[in-house]
Amino acid sequence: MQPVIDIHIHIQPLHMFRPQALAMIKRGRKDYADVERYSADPRLFLKFLDGLGIERAGLINYVSPEIMGFTPEVNEWIAKYCAAAPDRLLAFGSVLPRTVADAGAEVDRLAKLGIRALKLHPSHQVITPNSYRDGCAALAAVYERAQANGLPLMIHTGTSIFPGARNVHAQPILCDDVGIDFPNLTVILAHGGRPLWMEEAFFLVRRHKNMHMDISGIPPQKLLEYFPRIAEIADKVLWGTDWPGPGVPEITGNLEKFRALPLREDAKRKILYDNAARMFPR
Ligand SMILES: [Zn+2]
């Protein structure tokens, strides 16, 4: 079986969640007890990945004190978690400028801590991706230091239904400036702007040499409807699920449905593995 990387899984410190946000995760979810067990023990989570045939996983964490409840300590938490198997677990952390004294230095510190990539969640962090052009110098420092440390930056794009999420910040086109001003920064537009702004995401991935996208959170049966020309950008698309996010019941069915899509086998292989493997060399 061909190896697979799920670049977008939320293994998070559940104890930090605000009650309203945690209720969103639990709502209608039959496997919440598993989410708890996996979050508590990376060895159990690795067994779960083994059963799914998933070689590596990007574990997404970000600072969002007001809306989600996550403080900068999420970085220590996920770095420690992933240290159990650094060859298989990719720690995504984050630097939210207003929560640290020196945002650039914080990126350097996270790189040393074992964080492999950064996540910016504009709608949960209430920050606009291009606001460095509008006075937020600390955000430019985050991008500069991420670029210098070779840390890819995942930027959430598309709607979120978590209580308090401010979707005005999540439009992909706001990342066009990032592609212009930080051309060597590897960017992943999470969710390809779904379900409202797919054309913007597709445009940016084609326009900027280091801009990629992941297809997490998109029901696979909708993928070709959302991105009819996805084969043209098959070198810059990463597979992921967004499990256990709202609307993502489980991983296996997602993978099977993706494999069944009428796409060329080489495009599927790139999306399921090659592109992420190139971005995160062992
Ligand atoms: Zn996500």
Q: What is the pLDDT of residue 178?
A: 98
Q: How far is the CA of 250 from the centre of ligand 1 (A)?
A: 14
Percent of the chain beyond pLDDT 70? 100
Q: What's the whole-number average pLDDT of the chain?
A: 97
The per-residue pLDDT for 1 is 76
Q: For 92, which DSSP code? A: E
Q: How many angstroms is it from 118 CA to the middle of ligand 1?
A: 13
CA of 9 to the centre of ligand 1 (A): 7
Query: Which pLDDT score is estimated for 247?
Result: 87
- Calpha distance 16→22 (Å, rounded): 9
Residues of the chain with pLDDT under 50: none
For residue 8, how far is its CA from the centre of ligand 1 (angstroms)?
A: 6
Residue 173: what pLDDT? 98
At residue 89, φ and ψ (nearest 5 deg) are -110, 120
Q: Which residues fall inside 5 Å of ion ligand 1, going by CB?
A: 242
150 C-alpha to center of ligand 1: Å? Answer: 22
pLDDT at residue 224 in the model: 98
